[in-house]
Structure 1
């Protein structure tokens, strides 16, 4: 079996990293293709973190045109599509593992579908509130195997007309890292020293991305969030956004407002990020990490706007669909109450049990690329 993995962002690297670890352990033939923001120095050059963790990068696709608007995004997809097709032709994988809903993932799904290359799609069937949610379902239509994180996603895939034999509920593989790190018990004091961050529970972790279809309101929404947080004495650890359309607006405004209470980071290695998340007072913004990963640590999450609008949300998430300083401040006050702290102390993560990667590899090994796998039928 030959497996081709693709990653272009911090988030989907978290999806596939634990699967590659098992692939390496079992000595399964595989290649890792790195692209998009992980190759951009201005976004932290995440490929260095991947290599430092001992992973071999077999292919690199430089695709991202500067400007980070709607038009450069589409042109970047075209550049990627040409290069990724050549990699498929050369390697001829038995499976291409795609994760999530990014635009480079969408382009990869198109390349695989039209070259008759089997696609296994991690976290298929979930929903969000922007173009990414549409891309996820479009990828689902191209995918041959749906690796869903929970029953909610499975039911949605069935309603979308996907054949039931293609749908496997395995959980979210990025939670596997969390379970491993809990056992290792990293030295948080050392991480604090490396990054000059505050003590445990003395900072907000802020991960705020632009919403592609709502660029006109990015500035206003950022100011609302920034002003709300600065009415609180805790430090704010900002991780710069992905290279989505509108990201430069957030980045430029944040840098211009930088001060000793607002600490800015381009990127963290995956295991350091999780440790920083686990020790935060809360995570706030509109990242999927605040929905999927935060509940494994039983820390509060404040979710803003429509980017994660329709996701299944654990009870540690306080949802604020429309930006409002007053609502953000009320949410921060709610987090501090004994009632809320007791509530989140008893939650389970609805996205899995931290054992997804082994399930995924077992499924891939058991499936033969027979005619019914590649010849998709819609059930509606």
Structure 2
């Protein structure tokens, strides 16, 4: 029986962990201990995902909450180290690029515990992004690198990591999307709930620090969304950080923009699938839109998912561009032959489990 300590802390990681944890449990050969750092602690951003995705409850919750990058990472590092010393796992497993990921990898590396990084090799090539620093450091500390794409393997090889155990298993988010879009959820109820029509609204999310911490950029995004809303209804689930800004600017009552609380994963999948277009700065939604057949405008200067930009499925737009709304209003849906093999065959979790058990 192999013992794996998994560190998660943010909404995207809960989604990624769901299919992997289920396969581990089903194998009956892996004892997985889940540590929740508490990076996302709001019930709408955390508790609902454990319930909805049927992830087993964490054995440990560090409850670190929000803080500066250094303070938050330091608290996590201290807590995870104590748990690793107590539990003595065979491996530490982390996902993606958050502070929880970095803290877990740093703690395990100091204790010589082999690190498994799922979603390894992604690069935006912008080191001003905290996430880029987190993913680079984590990859360089990890022994097992499970990548979602072939391009991710090329990035790892360019950085001299070809001697590690690197496997392109596909994207675990594709596993999750395929599984949970099948869950019974009556789309008519969702459409009625928000007074929207199928393929006749835009879904928008905004949460990255570079878009919310800079007030000038944030106000520019809101101005552009307002101009878009004159022509198309916008559904805007609010990240807690974004909600504070929206409330402070007193813009909750903008005409034709429906600001709503965060929604669960399954409801979000259906909102994405039935939207005409997605506007987002989220890495996960760029891909999920692709899985579900909805294109996206990405409010960033770069993205980790370059393949979707290359084929024209998604498009980058600078959040600082004064009239980017014109590009979005001119958007025409095109017929694409979606290459599903970008992100594997939907069996990434099974491949990860099999590889670990073979070691």
What TM-score range do you get, normalising by the shorter chain?
A: 0.7 to 0.9
Question: Which residue in 2 is equivalent to 1:22?
Answer: 23
Conservation of the 8 A alpha-carbon contact between 1:240 and 1:267: yes
Separation in 1 of the partners of 2:222 and 2:4? 44
Aligned ranges for residues 1-380 of structure 1 at < 5 Å? 1-27=2-28, 28-41=30-43, 44-57=44-57, 58-65=59-66, 72-128=68-124, 129=126, 130-184=129-183, 186-192=185-191, 196=194, 198-212=196-210, 215-216=213-214, 217-234=216-233, 236-241=234-239, 247=242, 250-253=245-248, 256-259=251-254, 261-306=256-301, 308-314=302-308, 315-321=312-318, 323-324=320-321, 326-335=323-332, 340-342=333-335, 344=336, 346-348=338-340, 350-367=342-359
> What TM-score, normalized to structure 1?
0.83
- 313-322 or 80-89: bigger deviation: 313-322
Closer/same/farther in 2, CA of residues 313 and 34 from structure 1, 3 Å limit: same
Report the secondary structure of 1:38's partner residue.
Answer: coil
Conservation of the 8 A alpha-carbon contact between 1:305 and 1:323: no
Closer/same/farther in 2, CA of residues 251 and 82 from structure 1, 3 Å limit: farther
Q: Which runs of 5+ in 1 are unaligned?
A: 368-380
Separation in 1 of the partners of 2:235 and 2:15? 20
Separation in 2 of the partners of 1:274 and 1:254? 29
Cα-to-partner distance string for 1:171-194 (whole Å, 9 max, x where unaligned): 11011022224555642124445x
CA shift, 1:15, in A, is: 1.4
Over the aligned positions, Cα root-mean-square deviation in angstroms equals 2.6
Q: Which runs of 5+ in 2 are unaligned?
A: none
Closer/same/farther in 2, CA of residues 149 and 239 from structure 1, 3 Å limit: same
- 86-95 or 209-218: bigger deviation: 209-218
Conservation of the 8 A alpha-carbon contact between 1:64 and 1:73: no
Conservation of the 8 A alpha-carbon contact between 1:304 and 1:323: no
Using CA pairs below 8 Å that are at least 6 residues apart, which structure has the higher relative contact order?
Answer: 1
Closer/same/farther in 2, CA of residues 228 and 313 from structure 1, 3 Å limit: farther
Report the secondary structure of 1:309's partner residue.
Answer: coil
